[in-house]
Amino acid sequence: MKEKIKELSLLLLYLSGWEEDSRNTPGEKLFRAWNGYLFKILNQLEEEELIHQFSQGKSVIITREGLNKAKELEKKYL
């Protein structure tokens, strides 16, 4: 059940996220989402390098690996 919660949290981050320009690297695009999910789950997703969190931020960045995984989960669950 814990694995499904983690998968569905990543999927919801992806489905509710948006793409924007990087503030640090001109021309680079980032996929960002609000981090209103359980910190335990967000920490696990970050440990797996699927997202990147910021200490003072209210949003997370979904990594390339996270986007690929989320797209697989979209096919699996939707």
Mind listing the pLDDT tens digit of every residue in the chain (78 residues)? 899 999 999 999 999 999 999 988 989 999 999 988 999 999 999 999 999 998 888 999 999 999 999 999 999 999
- Residue 55: per-residue pLDDT: 83
pTM, 2 dp: 0.88
- Residue 1: per-residue pLDDT: 84
**Domain limits of the chain?**
2-77
- Residue 41: per-residue pLDDT: 95
Class of domain 2-77: mainly alpha
Residue 70 burial by Cβ neighbours in a 10 Å radius (0-12, 13-18, 19+): buried
CA 67 to chain centre: 7
